[in-house]
Amino acid sequence: MNILVVGGAGYIGSHMVQMLLENGDEVTIFDNLSTGFKESVTGGNFIEGDLSNTNELNTLFENSQFDCVMHFAAFSQVGESVLHPGLYYKNNFCNTLNLLDSMVKHDVNNIIFSSTAALFGNPEYTPIDEKHPCNPINPYGQSKLMIEQALADYEQAYGIQYISLRYFNAAGASIDGSIGERHTPETHLIPLALQTATGKREHIKVFGSDYDTPDGTCIRDYIHVLDLCEAHYLALQHLIKNGESNIFNLGNKEGYSVLQVIHAAEQVTQRNIPAITTSRRAGDPTTLIADSEKITTLLGWTPKHSSIHTIMEHAWQWEQKLAPSS
Ligand code: UDP
């Protein structure tokens, strides 16, 4: 199959590119390198370009007939989205409309979209299934929800078929340690904890210890990046067989608190990770845990690397490789 991976130099996109190449697919990567890294792209046809540039997009679609688009390109920091909402609405929402319009213009009808658990807001019940109401409490989640709404409208108007995958907390790295999570600046809990273990950081901050959870810190459902990619692959096969559009939650149905994650990092690294409690981070829901039964039932997805220790081991292998150069 001929796949366009938008945002393929980013954390999850680069793992997807690697999986597609391993499966023998033809892959084009379109990325502006604003948050991704060229060296994370392990093969395929790399094109540096920006979704805000409709000329670049049209050239991209004129030069190849894609079977499916996988769309990973987005800003994804909750805290930043609260401080700079316009960035999120423009880059995530408006630029996705450009992509969809180019697909319509060039008769490409399949898209797999990277959505997020952040669109649920504070859960009314847990674990969260797809029927849970969407009430995002930050512009990041809101921008992704607006895209899901646009996808439904583009299906209605132009016959675009889509699968929206709502990731809970992506984590981990490739098994061979060749690629992994890398953000500048890094804001995510697991890499920050591991960078504290390498000595790159003096301590990790725990954002709030007065949440309504057993240890007072926020609870998240961490899901291995390779399991997320596997879900994309199943979604791709489904769309290629003319399967219906759908929305799925992706997580392990198991939550870990910030303190539990730091503890798991200490166990895997066998190092002390100093933690300092600070105030809450704006826009953080208390608990996010996924119910992923729907994709298991309909597409046969089962996470293979679900334990927090496996996730941490792969992330640690990657972080140690990264440590000298960053
Ligand atoms: N977190 C923290 N300290 C950090 C980074 C994150 O306490 O330095 C917390 C954050 O408030 C959230 C959880 O860890 O409750 C996961 O945050 P992350 O940014 O990794 O992912 P998000 O849930 O925002 O997608």
Å from CA of 173 to ligand 1 middle: 18
Candidate of 187, 221, 258, 260 to mutate for ligand 1, largest count of ligand atoms within 8 Å of Cβ: 258
**Mode of pairing for the β-strands spanning 256-257 and 219-220:** antiparallel
Superfamily of domain 2-171+222-250: NAD(P)-binding Rossmann-like Domain (3.40.50.720)
Whose alpha carbon is nearest atom 20 of ligand 1? 188
Whose alpha carbon is nearest atom 22 of ligand 1? 169
Å from CA of 225 to ligand 1 middle: 17
Atom of ligand 1 at shortest range from CA of 171: 20
Cα–Cα dist 223/254, whole Å: 9
**Residue 326: per-residue pLDDT:** 46
Cα–Cα dist 275/190, whole Å: 13
SS3 string of the chain?
Answer: CEEEEECCCCHHHHHHHHHHHHCCCEEEEEECCCCCCHHHCCCCEEEECCCCCHHHHHHHHHHCCCCEEEECCCCCCHHHHHHCHHHHHHHHHHHHHHHHHHHHHCCCCEEEEEEEHHHCCCCCCCCECCCCCCCCCCHHHHHHHHHHHHHHHHHHHHCCEEEEEEECEEECCCCCCCCCCCCCCCCCHHHHHHHHHHCCCCCEEEECCCCCCCCCCCEECEEEHHHHHHHHHHHHHHHHCCCCCEEEEECCCCCEEHHHHHHHHHHHHCCCCCEEEECCCCCCCCEECECCHHHHHHHCCCCCCCCHHHHHHHHHHHHHHHCCCC
In terms of phi and psi (left: phi > 0; alpha: psi -120 to 50; beta: otherwise), the region of 304 is alpha
Atom of ligand 1 at shortest range from CA of 193: 8
pTM of the model: 0.96
Correct CATH for 189-220+253-322 of 3.40.50.1100, 3.90.25.10, 3.20.20.80, 3.30.70.260: 3.90.25.10
Cite the residue boundaries of each domain of the chain with CATH code 3.40.50.720. Answer: 2-171+222-250
Candidate of 78, 144, 220, 280 to mutate for ligand 1, largest count of ligand atoms within 8 Å of Cβ: 220
Cite the residue boundaries of each domain of the chain with CATH code 3.90.25.10. Answer: 189-220+253-322
Whose alpha carbon is nearest atom 24 of ligand 1? 78
Atom of ligand 1 at shortest range from CA of 206: 7
Whose alpha carbon is nearest atom 14 of ligand 1? 189
Å from CA of 220 to ligand 1 middle: 8
Whose alpha carbon is nearest atom 15 of ligand 1? 218
Whose alpha carbon is nearest atom 4 of ligand 1? 189
For the chain of 326 residues, list the mean pLDDT of each consecutive stretch of 10: 98 98 98 97 98 98 98 95 97 98 98 97 96 96 98 98 98 95 93 96 98 97 98 98 97 97 98 98 91 98 95 96 68
In terms of phi and psi (left: phi > 0; alpha: psi -120 to 50; beta: otherwise), the region of 216 is left
End-to-end distance of the chain based on CA atoms, in angstroms? 36
Atom of ligand 1 at shortest range from CA of 280: 11
Q: Give the residue among 225, 124, 235 at the shortest CA–CA distance from 181.
A: 225
Report yes or no: 23 and 89 within 8 Å, Cβ to Cβ: no
Atom of ligand 1 at shortest range from CA of 192: 8
Among the options 11, 140, 154, 256, which is catalytic?
Answer: 140
Q: 140 an active-site residue? A: yes
Residue type, 306: S
The DSSP bridge partners found for residue 45 are 28
Find the radius of gyration of the CA atoms of the chain.
19
Cα–Cα dist 107/193, whole Å: 45
> CB-based burial of residue 115 (10 Å sphere; 0-12 exposed, 13-18 middle, 19+ buried)?
buried
